[in-house]
Structure 1
Amino acid sequence: MEPDRPADPDDEDDEGKTTCTPIGWVLLPGLLGVSARPRAAALVSAWAGVLVLASVVVPFVPGHRGDPSALIASATALAVAPALAWARRHRRSTAVVRAAAPPDVAVFTMPAGPGRAALAVCGTPGEVGAAVPLRDGGLRVLVGTVTGPALSTPAGRRAIELAFRRHAGQARQSLPQLVEALDQVVRALASAGDLRATVVQVDRAGLLDAVRCGSPDLAVATGHRATLAGVPAGPAIGSTAPAGPAVSGRVTSHHVAVVGADVTEAHGHRWTGVLDQVAGDEDPARTAQRLTRGPGGVRRIGPVLVVDLRTPSGG
């Protein structure tokens, strides 16, 4: 009769390892995947999946080799991460809807707190416009024009818009911090040139704040006339002017219009009269489209943003 073999402490350790589900090990890739873009989320999860499969052969992560449920839990978590990232981005993109408009102007409508907003872009040289709906029901919009040969190219303008979308989606970043991030991007893209822009933020309660950087003042509807909001003006983004911290201004009107510098330059001293259309029309999409009309029937000029906080966001 063979004597009983003394228990090996190493066996107990191995047994203990096989009963440990590595939820924490997949938590970090999962969080990175959900917070990133869908493509980045898929790459992060794919790399983590390779490590999960490798851990079956070389058990450097407890649980994957001896506990099938742990392997299933890891695989499921890593598969769900890019799906959640895609769903998050899809919800944001479906919040922006293209409205009916003539072929020479594109008008996009979106929720703006309790109201609605419309952004009109015309593809004019130097035009920059981007909108980012926030998860809490708020909205951030960039309206501007660029100067300089490097920034005026389609690639330069798109790089600025992509940078705005990336930073604007970070709700904890304030408007001055967002402008500072854009300033760094513009300076990195070109040593000569700047971005004359207004950045608008509407929170879920309908409070509207704006930062002006070398751009025209915002127009607000007062009765049947449009007046200027009096938002503090700062230097253009990326300009050689002394770069102090951007100052945001609160706009109390429920009906606001923001136009690019090219719009005011085209209309000259009559541009404030053109903005009277803001007070005379309750449809943000129609108003934004009308404000893009150049003087004398010339080509449309954009971008134009119209925010109506009186219009229900579901309408």
Structure 2
Amino acid sequence: MRNGVLVSTRTALAGATGNALVMGVAEVSTPLGWVLLPGLLGVSTRPRVAALISAWAAVLLAASVVVPVVPGHRAEPWALGVSVASLAAVPLLAWARRRREDRAVARVPAPRDVAVFTMPAGTGRAALAVCRAPGEVAAAVPLRRGGLRVLLGMAHGATLARPEHTRALESAFRDEALRGGGSLPGIAGALDDLVRDIAPGGYLAATLVEVSPEGRVTLLRCGGPDATAHAGDGTRPVGLPDAGPLGLTGTATSVAEAPARARRLALAPAAGPHRPTEEALRAPRAADAVVALTRRPGDRRRTGPALVVDLPPDPPA
């Protein structure tokens, strides 16, 4: 499960083009002025798109030299060499960034009918299971210093449950989750608007989860599954307040915190106080627990998505 990119292809190409126009009109001839913005845009997107942006920026740069309608990039060999080397490095830097992100989210072995991904979650680890049943919506976004944001839900309505629309919801969540200063209510509000735009008659029953770098877990329930907490004294539902599904009711303005003593937190359509969840939450690994949560009692089919967050014990005082 790949992370969302910070800049879209269209935005990056438009930015590179606008930068070239501004540099030409302003008669800026230094390599830094022509290369800096395309380089920043390229590093903030996928490696293939970064290569496209670099190539387009090089074309604009060459055009400013060959057809000097307005003063453009310097034609001296040293200046051209600096710009070419800088643009060539952009795809490599984007590739290195993507490699770091991919190492943070790893797919682990699991049964054929479920995909399981593990990732850092504050001071612990988390596992996300996706069965790709109709209407499933699931996305995980690792943040800086080990933070994590996760969306789990089910899209209801023939239009909203289409694969292209569930993917659009996941992509929108990734984009919003990566925005600096964003909050769970803010993300829920953006998803609520998108649901209403895509399918006015549909709705998304979802729960949003955030794990801080220090391991504090906050949740926002919008018609989605409740959380189940496991600690040394047993397993019990968290009892999250429910603001109602996205697309049907106004979004919540406050979040709830997971119990401080919880050492494992689970969210899944099958989550609850019944025996399978008790057994799942006692599994040695989060990946094993999340696979067990996708199996409903008495039903051979799997239903997702499901999330398990393992939090280590508090350090001794």
TM-score, structure 1 normalization: 0.82
The reply to whether residue 234 of structure 1 matches residue 243 of structure 2 is yes
Where does residue 250 of structure 1 map in the other structure?
257
1:183 alignment partner AA = D
CA distance in 1, matches of 2:35, 2:265: 47
User: Per the alignment, in what secondary structure is the counterpart of residue 51 of structure 1?
Assistant: helix
CA distance in 2, matches of 1:186, 1:90: 32
CA distance in 2, matches of 1:277, 1:254: 15
Where do 5+ consecutive residues of structure 2 fail to align?
A: 1-26
2:85 alignment partner AA = T
User: What's the offset of the Cα at 1:165?
Assistant: 2.1
Where does residue 80 of structure 1 map in the other structure?
89
CA distance in 1, matches of 2:221, 2:204: 11
The reply to whether residue 64 of structure 1 matches residue 71 of structure 2 is no
1:131 alignment partner AA = A
Matches within 5 A, 1:47-126: 47-59=56-68, 60-61=70-71, 64-65=74-75, 67-126=76-135
1:138 alignment partner AA = G
User: Per the alignment, in what secondary structure is the counterpart of residue 158 of structure 2?
Assistant: coil
Where does residue 151 of structure 2 map in the other structure?
142
Q: In the alignment, which of 177, 186, 196 is matched to residue 187 of structure 1?
A: 196
Contact 2:188 2:251 in 1 (8 A): no
CA distance in 1, matches of 2:253, 2:246: 10
- The root-mean-square deviation of aligned C-alpha atoms, in Å, is 2.3
Q: Deviations over 1:68-100 (max 9, x none)?
A: 111111122222223222322232123222222
CA distance in 2, matches of 1:192, 1:83: 45
CA distance in 1, matches of 2:129, 2:280: 14
User: Per the alignment, in what secondary structure is the counterpart of residue 225 of structure 2?
Assistant: coil
Contact 1:220 1:226 in 2 (8 A): yes
User: Per the alignment, in what secondary structure is the counterpart of residue 312 of structure 2?
Assistant: coil
Q: Which has the larger radius of gyration?
A: 1
User: What's the offset of the Cα at 1:63?
Assistant: 5.1
CA distance in 2, matches of 1:244, 1:158: 21
User: Per the alignment, in what secondary structure is the counterpart of residue 141 of structure 1?
Assistant: strand
CA distance in 2, matches of 1:125, 1:25: 47
Where does residue 311 of structure 2 map in the other structure?
309
User: Which stretch of the first structure deviates more once superposed, 188-197 or 89-98?
Assistant: 89-98
User: Per the alignment, in what secondary structure is the counterpart of residue 128 of structure 2?
Assistant: strand
TM-score, structure 2 normalization: 0.81
Where do 5+ consecutive residues of structure 1 fail to align?
A: 1-16, 265-269
Where does residue 41 of structure 2 map in the other structure?
32
Contact 2:192 2:251 in 1 (8 A): no
User: Per the alignment, in what secondary structure is the counterpart of residue 28 of structure 1?
Assistant: helix
Where does residue 8 of structure 1 map in the other structure?
none
Contact 1:213 1:236 in 2 (8 A): yes
CA distance in 2, matches of 1:177, 1:40: 29
Taking a change above 3 Å as real, the CA distance of residues 306 and 75 of structure 1, as seen in their structure-2 partners, is: same
Contact 2:116 2:287 in 1 (8 A): yes
Where does residue 211 of structure 2 map in the other structure?
202
User: What's the offset of the Cα at 1:232?
Assistant: 2.8
User: What's the offset of the Cα at 1:257?
Assistant: 0.5
Taking a change above 3 Å as real, the CA distance of residues 172 and 87 of structure 1, as seen in their structure-2 partners, is: farther
Matches within 5 A, 1:10-49: 21-49=30-58
Where does residue 231 of structure 2 map in the other structure?
222
1:23 alignment partner AA = L
User: What's the offset of the Cα at 1:108?
Assistant: 1.3
CA distance in 1, matches of 2:231, 2:177: 30
CA distance in 2, matches of 1:145, 1:56: 54
Taking a change above 3 Å as real, the CA distance of residues 300 and 174 of structure 1, as seen in their structure-2 partners, is: same
User: What's the offset of the Cα at 1:288?
Assistant: 0.6
CA distance in 1, matches of 2:83, 2:238: 54
CA distance in 2, matches of 1:74, 1:246: 48
Taking a change above 3 Å as real, the CA distance of residues 86 and 166 of structure 1, as seen in their structure-2 partners, is: farther
1:64 alignment partner AA = R
Where does residue 285 of structure 2 map in the other structure?
283
User: Per the alignment, in what secondary structure is the counterpart of residue 145 of structure 2?
Assistant: coil
Percent of aligned positions that are identical: 48
2:256 alignment partner AA = G
User: Per the alignment, in what secondary structure is the counterpart of residue 146 of structure 1?
Assistant: strand
